[in-house]
Every structure is written in C-alpha cells, then in structure tokens.
Amino acid sequence: MKKNPQDFVAMKGSKPIPMLTAYTCPIARSIENANIPVILVGDTVGMVEMGFDSTRDVTIEHMEYHIGAVRRGAENTHIIGDLPYGTDIDPETALTNAQRLIHAGADSVKMEGPNIQVIQHLVKHNIPVVGHTGLLPQTAKNFKQVGQSSEEAARVMKDAQAIWNAGAFMVVLEHIPYSLANKITSVLPIPTIGIGAGPDCDGQVLVINDALGLGDYWPPFSKQYAYISKTIQEVANEFSKEVESMKFPSNIISFTGTNRS
C-alpha cells in the first residue's frame, strides 16, 4: 500500500528507509516490485538521462513528463517530485509549480535549501514537502563536501531545523560529514535521508543510474551494484554481429510477445 508522509515519520528510529530515484516507467515498475517505499523523481534526470551539464537546465515540463512516466510504472509507491531550479523563487510561483507536479502524479515535492516561506506556503495548501540541505546542486559552485568547518556545520544544522519547523516531513542530507548527519538525525523528529552523509541517517537515497552503473560517472559516495552500460554495449555488439551474419532473426524466434515475471 502506498505510504504517506505520516508513515515515513513513523518509520524514523524503527526502520531504515530505502529511496531510489527513477525517471522512466519500466525502472519505476522494477523499483516498486522490489518494495522500495519511495521514489524520488529528481532533477538529476537532467544530468544522468538528458545529457545536460547541470540540473539547472531542467524545466517544470521535463519534470511533469518524467513524473507521469514513473507514476504509470509505480502506482502504489510514494513519489517525490523535485521542484527544478527557479520554480520555487517565491511562495505563489512555487505553489503553482508544486501543483503541476502533484497533478502529474507526485505525492509530495522536494525543494533545495531553507526557503522557509515557500515551504510554509506549500504545507498550508496541503502539499507535503521534503527539504534538502548540505550540498545543493542547483546553486552549488562545486561538488565539495559541505559542513566541514564549525561555522558551516552550524549553518547546515540551523537550515535543517528551519526546514522541519516550516513543516517538511522529511529532509535529504547531501554530502555532509557523517558526524553532522548523525547530530541532525538525532535532533530532528522527521526522517533524514542521506546521500553521501553516512550510515546514521534514517534512510538512504541513490540515483538509480549510479546504482545500476548506467552512465559515464558516479559520485564517490554512491555504490555501483551493477554495470548496465557494459551490458548494453555487449547486447548491441552481439545484435550487430547477428544481423551482419544473418543469424538474427531466425525462424525459431516467436514474436507473440510475453510478459516477464
């Protein structure tokens, strides 16, 4: 059954929360079949699927398209839709864009940074919000770890608390020292979801392309569970050879189509 924000808050401290990103229907279906309770349709789609150099090139229309595809693949999974760069600049603009993502199939929206008035405005209009602090790819000048100095650590802690106080039900902690993630996790009553933030968060999120080994590069804190890019190249090579040698198609192949279980 699809989980709601209260279910995730109740999981804090009792059951670690696994989260994966997805951008397409078949991948979302496989993730739902693996019983992952929450999918993030992140604006990372711009870099890992669309070939942009930055997430800043992603538009609200791109997000609607991908959220729709993921919803069709994962009807019973909580979907978080990312508000792309510039779509949450003020409370009214953010509300219009968040409503578009919800209409496209998201159950909640995620936004980067301690944009308190915007979070409060969305929550007031019954849109569940996931916060995001630490490294903020939409505005970061580089991808270095955030929160190493005591001043910066205090600022990240303050931002996480402000995001919670504004009404967010979950917060992503990206690329911060493990000790800082541990402190934030023990102070906040809402779940923290780490990416490059160590083992003490309430849950972990990975970009699906990184976990699959699908693409050209992976951040150092990710884990590559497979190497799908290599498999695709092997399949393409084999197919090419079989076409050239006229081994494919053969008479024994059925084209009736099957559903794999």
Closest CB to ligand KIV among residues 97, 248: 97
Smallest separation (angstroms) from ligand KIV to the CB of 21: 5
Q: What is the residue type of 118? A: V
Closest CB to ligand KIV among residues 217, 239: 217
Q: Of the candidates 5, 17, 80, 82, which one interacts with ligand KIV according to CB under 6 A?
A: 82
DSSP letter for 146, please: S
- Whose tokens are 């951008």? That residue is 23
- Whose tokens are 């903020």? That residue is 136
Q: Is 172 in the site for ligand KIV (CB under 6 A)?
A: yes
Q: Which stretch binds ligand KIV (CB under 6 A): 37-45, 98-106, 152-160, 246-254?
A: 37-45
For β-strands 78-82 and 108-110, DSSP reports them as parallel
204 conformational bin, left if phi > 0, alpha if psi -120 to 50, beta if neither: beta
Residue of 162, 166, 202, 167 whose CA lies nearest to 186? 202
CA distances from residue 85 to 49, 82, 122, 181 in whole angstroms, order as listed: 17, 9, 17, 25
- As a whole number of Å, the CA-based R_g of the chain is 20
Taking CB atoms, the residue at the shortest distance from ligand KIV is 42
* CA 256/CA 234 separation, integer angstroms: 25
Q: Is 192 in the site for ligand KIV (CB under 6 A)?
A: no
Q: Which of 92, 112, 174, 244 is catalytic?
A: 174
Closest CB to ligand KIV among residues 102, 170: 170
Smallest separation (angstroms) from ligand KIV to the CB of 163: 14
Residue numbers 195-234 binding ligand KIV by CB under 6 A: 195, 205, 207
Active site residue 244: no
Q: Is 173 in the site for ligand KIV (CB under 6 A)?
A: no
DSSP letter for 83, please: P
Residues that bind ligand KIV (CB under 6 A): 21, 40, 42-44, 82, 172, 174, 195, 205, 207
Q: Which residues are catalytic?
A: 174
